[in-house]
């Protein structure tokens, strides 16, 4: 009897943890803002490391292409995440109402989210370089 009680407590803790992990993992927060460089002239609004980055060697047409590549990659990642929204909502509802372990079946899209954050950093850098070069 005591063992059954222990098992129940453990499974409740596990389910609670799964709920917490799933819920915490689902929404992606917006990436942090870059430092405020507004007090500098546009051609000097670069961060440490921008001038040594591979993008710094690109001319204006290539920076424009790079910017377009980033935009397309962002769209692809967002589409991946959006494509899993219905599934995650169904799993979240069923897990919350019927059977908590179902929440483990949610798709967190961690790779796509990480990639979006990296792409934002790259986009910011390409924007800074484009504007510093007067593109």
Residues of this chain that bind another protein (CB under 8 A): 22-24, 26-31, 33-34, 36-38, 42, 45, 78, 81-82, 85, 88-89, 92-93, 106, 113, 116, 120, 124, 127-128, 131
Tokens of 109: 């899209």
Region of 45 (left: φ > 0; alpha: ψ -120 to 50; beta: rest) is beta
CB of 42 to another protein, least distance (A): 4
Left (φ > 0), alpha (ψ -120 to 50) or beta: where does 48 sit? beta
> Smaller CB distance to another protein: residue 4 or 27?
27
**Within a 10 A sphere around the Cβ of 89, how many other Cβ atoms?**
12
State which residue, 11 or 89, has the beta carbon closest to another protein: 89
Shortest Cβ 131–another protein spacing (Å):
5
Query: In the bound complex, what is the minimum distance in angstroms from residue 112's beta carbon to another protein?
Result: 8
In whole angstroms, give the CA distance from residue 26 to residue 106.
8
């Amino acid at each position: 009897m005591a063992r059954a009680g222990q098992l129940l407590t453990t499974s409740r803790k596990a389910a609670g943890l799964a709920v917490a992990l799933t819920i915490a993992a689902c929404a992606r927060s917006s990436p942090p803002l870059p430092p405020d460089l507004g007090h500098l002239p546009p051609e000097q609004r670069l961060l440490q490391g921008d001038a040594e980055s591979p993008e710094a060697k690109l001319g204006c047409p290539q920076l424009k292409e790079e910017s377009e590549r980033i935009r397309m990659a962002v769209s692809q990642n967002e589409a991946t995440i959006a494509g899993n929204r219905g599934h995650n909502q169904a799993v979240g509802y069923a897990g919350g109402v019927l059977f908590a372990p179902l929440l483990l079946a949610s798709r967190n899209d961690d790779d796509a989210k990480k990639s979006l954050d990296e792409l934002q950093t790259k986009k910011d850098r390409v924007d800074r370089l484009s504007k510093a070069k007067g593109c």
